[in-house]
Amino acid sequence: MLRIHFTDRDLQNIRISRRPDPLWELICAACRLVTHQGPLEFGAWRRSVRDRLATDPVANRALHTLHTLVPPVGYIPDFLTPSVLDGGLPAALEEIRATPRSRLRSELGRLAVARPLPAWTTALGRPGDRGMRSLVKDLEISTRTLLEPRWAHVRRAIRDEVDVRSRVLLDGGVLALFESMRPLARWRAPVLEVEYPTHRDLHLDGRGLLLVPSYFCWRRPTALADPSLGPVLAYPVTARPIDSITLRDNGLQRLLGRTRASVLTEVARSGPRTTSEVATAVGIALPSASYQLAVLRDGGLMASHRDGQCVRHSVTLMGYRLLDGDAGELQPTGNTSGAS
């Protein structure tokens, strides 16, 4: 568990990143590529990336460099995710290129404790060494390989997430914002307890906290390892749009019927929805939406639960299996740590 300690000044300095952070997304995407987590959200993306790697040796080499520094489990060097609020990817990559030699030695030395590193990592940052320039180029290539196929989804997911969190913040203040992050985090004043692979404490000491919603972050938030750096908490977005249904030749429509397939797909894309929300999204009358949801629930593809005065509907594991069409990737795997 990560325990983030707030002062009154910190509570006045909570910020939410309004745009996707390309390097946080890159690091998390590198982890998702090898962990097989999130088959519905990431299964089609993983297959498309692997298809590209099979025919693109340059992308393959670049991604090998990235995975050398980004293990799916454990410590990941902080210099790979600098806090750059403006300038996008070019500015962030320039920040990495300018990382001081002393910091590179410290962070890579910590990484080397857990896994052997190739010789080129020891030369990074030395005068006249071209290793940092090559590393930055490999990060740029890996960004195109891993993120470009899904970037429209990433931007939409971050935009929707920021809209939701901003409304909560405006309506209820900082404490309501923290409460809205359950079960990822729990507010126990003056500490925010965050699900985390290791036990550590982070004292903000008036520096505030930057919240970075991430499309490729999975299951639990992650933070920088060095407590002296500007405090950042990257956390998974509430919902991720699904880019495609893998049943071929409209098999889902032929199996369920067009309207029922649309209802199931809409709820899978958007997360738990009320009957009226489903009706509006799919474009059908409220009684029809209620009937279709009941049929899907009776078939074990949908579950319904009461949330206050509303009833919300969500897709079951059986429903996700039907949508994804690939039960092999649904086998459970271990959790990751670090920036994953």
- pLDDT single digits (tens) 268-290: 877 788 998 888 888 888 888 99
Q: Which residue has the higher pLDDT, 44 or 53?
A: 53
pLDDT at residue 242 in the model: 55
Average the pLDDT over 43-60 and give the result. Answer: 92
- pTM above the 0.75 mark? no
pLDDT at residue 170 in the model: 87
Query: How many whole angstroms separate alpha carbon 46 and alpha carbon 52?
Result: 10
pLDDT at residue 256 in the model: 87
Residue 186 backbone class (left: φ over 0; alpha: ψ -120 to 50; beta: rest): beta
Half-sphere exposure of 340 (CA within 13 A, CB side): 24
CA angle, corner 82, sides to 77 and 83, nearest 5? 140
pLDDT at residue 326 in the model: 35
- pLDDT single digits (tens) 241-262: 655 444 444 577 778 888 888 8
Among candidate residues 201, 227, 196, 232, the one with its CA nearest the CA of residue 214: 232
Strand pairing category for 209-214 and 232-236: parallel
209 touches 178 (CB < 8 A): no
237 touches 41 (CB < 8 A): no
pLDDT at residue 334 in the model: 33
Spell out the SS3 assignment of the chain.
CEEEECCHHHHCCEEECCCCCHHHHHHHHHHHHHHCCCHHHHHHHHHHHHHHHCCCHHHHHHHHHHHHHCCCCCCCCHHHCCCCCCCHHHHHHHHHHCCCHHHHHHHHHHHHHHCCCCHHHHHCCCCCCCHHHHHHHHHHHHHHHHCHHHHHHHHHHHHHHHHHHHHHHHHHHHHHHHHCCCCCEEEECCEEEECCCCCEEEECCCCCEEEEEECCCCCCCEECCCCCCCCEEEEECCCCCCCCCCCHHHHHHHHHCHHHHHHHHHHHHHCCEEHHHHHHHHCCCHHHHHHHHHHHHHCCCEEEEEECCEEEEEECHHHHHHHHCCHHHHCCCCCCCCCC
- pLDDT single digits (tens) 72-119: 888 999 999 998 777 789 999 999 999 999 999 999 999 999 889 998
